[in-house]
């Protein structure tokens, strides 16, 4: 059984490749290396003892996508991570995001629609809910107008898949709405490698802890939350990776109730920015230099997942605590800066 992982050298992609290989599935990775490195293959090999097949391919090139699927006729499932993910950059350059995140999705779905049977897993985001009215957020919460072109590509992406599935019974798809992925593989062989100044909280914390950054700015201390800082649902990337394998197996084994399904992937627990900092200080035994500054434009007050649907239907539950995930992020940071 061959599984194609697009963006398989990226943060969540590489951890998912490991879990797929651990389950005995044969993996082909395609990646354009725009935000990743071939060295990640060595990390995957160090963990699993198996090197996945890798092809450098630009999914924006339609003919390359067509040729790839002509060559690899035995692909039964695709996990599609390849996408751009910087919210701020998407505001500056929306067309880049529509081309990278939507154009490529259409090309892949076109190829999968030609097959007698195909399974497709899509990387979506809790960003589709915007500031939800109720916590925890269930999958039937309304999708709100996107705050950024990036968020819009996740909403449009889901609609494209849903529309395609309606007219393509041979195509089975699941969209996974991630909350806030963090952490690294406990082996410290693979982890997050943000390019430039991290936009996300956890890599900014660990880079500050290691001395690469002077100070963490906590964006806003006057939110209507217990300690005034925003609440998010931080999920260990290994838990997230395992959920992808379970979702794919559900489709490959034909256990899905519908040919398009949506699941939240979170822990169900909300943590504030100050709680994340406390967790870092506990697991690293270091004091973090931080300062509360103005709010960041576009941030929502709180988002954490209802995990009931994933628990009950996928039989999946996040196993790691915030401290465990933070410890893995810190161990990774320490290792890569040695």
Catalytic annotation, residues: 150
Position 242 contacts ligand UFG (CB under 6 A): no
In the bound complex, what is the minimum distance in angstroms from residue 180's beta carbon to ligand UFG?
5
Alpha-carbon span 114 to 122, nearest angstrom:
18
In the bound complex, what is the minimum distance in angstroms from residue 3's beta carbon to ligand UFG?
24
Position 217 contacts ligand UFG (CB under 6 A): yes
Of 128, 116, 125, the closest CA to residue 172 belongs to 116
Position 273 contacts ligand UFG (CB under 6 A): yes
Q: Could you write out the three-class secondary structure of 211-275?
A: CCCCCEEEECCCCCCCCCCCEECEEEHHHHHHHHHHHHHHHHCCCCCCCEEEEEECCCCCEEHHH
Alpha-carbon span 108 to 148, nearest angstrom:
24
Position 85 contacts ligand UFG (CB under 6 A): yes
User: How many residues would you count in the chain?
Assistant: 338
In the bound complex, what is the minimum distance in angstroms from residue 45's beta carbon to ligand UFG?
28
DSSP-assigned letters across all residues of 274-322: HHHHHHHHHHHT----EEEEPPPTT--SB--B--HHIIIII-------H
Q: Which of residues 93-122 bind ligand UFG (CB under 6 A)?
A: none
Q: Which stretch binds ligand UFG (CB under 6 A): 5-13, 68-76, 137-145, 196-204?
A: 196-204
Which residue lies nearer to ligand UFG by CB, 184 or 230? 230
The token pair at 30 is 């395609």
Alpha-carbon span 304 to 29, nearest angstrom:
31
The token pair at 155 is 């909403």
In the bound complex, what is the minimum distance in angstroms from residue 296's beta carbon to ligand UFG?
5
Binding test (CB under 6 A) with ligand UFG, winner from 5, 109, 218, 251: 218
In the bound complex, what is the minimum distance in angstroms from residue 209's beta carbon to ligand UFG?
13
Alpha-carbon span 177 to 263, nearest angstrom:
6
**Residue with the shortest CB distance to ligand UFG:** 230
159 Cβ contact partners less than 8 Å away, ≥ 6 residues apart: none
Position 153 contacts ligand UFG (CB under 6 A): no
Q: Which stretch binds ligand UFG (CB under 6 A): 9-17, 135-143, 261-269, 296-304?
A: 296-304
The secondary element (H helix, E strand) that includes residue 16 is helix 11-22
Give the angle 142-294-133 at the CA atoms, nearest 5°: 15
Binding test (CB under 6 A) with ligand UFG, winner from 48, 296, 324, 336: 296
- Which residues is 141 bridged to in the sheet? none
CA–centroid distance for 43 within its chain: 19
Binding test (CB under 6 A) with ligand UFG, winner from 230, 247, 322, 326: 230
Q: Which stretch binds ligand UFG (CB under 6 A): 5-13, 188-196, 214-222, 263-271?
A: 214-222
Which residue lies nearer to ligand UFG by CB, 68 or 204? 204
Position 303 contacts ligand UFG (CB under 6 A): yes
Position 199 contacts ligand UFG (CB under 6 A): yes
String marking each residue 159-188 x if it binds ligand UFG according to CB under 6 A: ---------------------x--------
DSSP-assigned letters across all residues of 129-192: G-S-SSSSBPTTSPPPPPSSHHHHHHHHHHHHHHHHHHH-TTEEEEEEEE-EEE---TTSSS--
Which residue lies nearer to ligand UFG by CB, 151 or 183? 151
3-state secondary structure at position 328: helix
Position 127 contacts ligand UFG (CB under 6 A): yes
Position 28 contacts ligand UFG (CB under 6 A): no
Residues that bind ligand UFG (CB under 6 A): 85, 87, 125-127, 151, 180, 199-201, 204, 216-219, 230, 232, 273, 296, 299, 303
């Amino acid at each position: 059984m061959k599984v194609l992982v697009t963006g398989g050298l990226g943060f969540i992609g590489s951890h998912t490749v490991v879990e797929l290989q651990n389950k005995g599935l044969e993996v082909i990775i395609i990646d354009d290396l725009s935000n990743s490195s071939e060295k990640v293959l060595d990390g995957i090999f160090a963990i699993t003892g198996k090197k996945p097949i890798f092809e450098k391919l630009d999914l924006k090139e339609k003919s390359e996508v067509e040729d790839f699927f002509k060559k690899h006729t035995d692909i039964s499932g695709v996990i599609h991570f390849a996408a751009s993910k910087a919210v701020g950059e998407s505001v500056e350059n929306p067309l880049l995001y529509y081309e990278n995140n939507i154009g490529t999705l259409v090309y892949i779905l076109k190829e999968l629609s030609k097959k007698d049977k195909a399974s497709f897993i899509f990387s979506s985001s809790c960003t589709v809910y915007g500031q939800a009215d109720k916590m925890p957020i269930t999958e039937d919460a309304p999708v709100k107008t996107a705050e950024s072109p990036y968020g819009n590509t996740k909403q449009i992406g889901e609609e494209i898949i849903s529309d395609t599935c309606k007219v393509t019974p041979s195509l089975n798809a699941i969209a996974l709405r991630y909350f806030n992925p963090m952490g690294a593989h406990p082996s410290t062989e693979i982890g997050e490698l943000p390019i430039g100044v991290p936009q996300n909280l956890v890599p900014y914390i660990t880079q500050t802890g290691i001395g690469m950054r002077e100070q963490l700015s906590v964006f806003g201390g006057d939110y209507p939350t217990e300690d005034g800082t925003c609440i998010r649902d931080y999920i260990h990337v290994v838990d997230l990776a395992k959920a992808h394998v379970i979702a794919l197996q559900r489709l490959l084994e034909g256990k899905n109730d519908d040919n398009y399904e949506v699941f939240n992937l979170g822990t169900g627990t909300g943590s504030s920015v100050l709680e994340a900092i406390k967790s870092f200080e506990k697991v690293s035994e270091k004091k973090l230099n931080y300062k509360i500054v103005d709010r960041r434009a576009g941030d929502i007050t709180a988002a954490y997942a209802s995990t009931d649907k994933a628990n009950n239907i996928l039989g999946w539950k996040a196993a790691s605590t915030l401290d465990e995930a933070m410890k893995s992020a810190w161990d990774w940071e320490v290792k890569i800066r040695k």
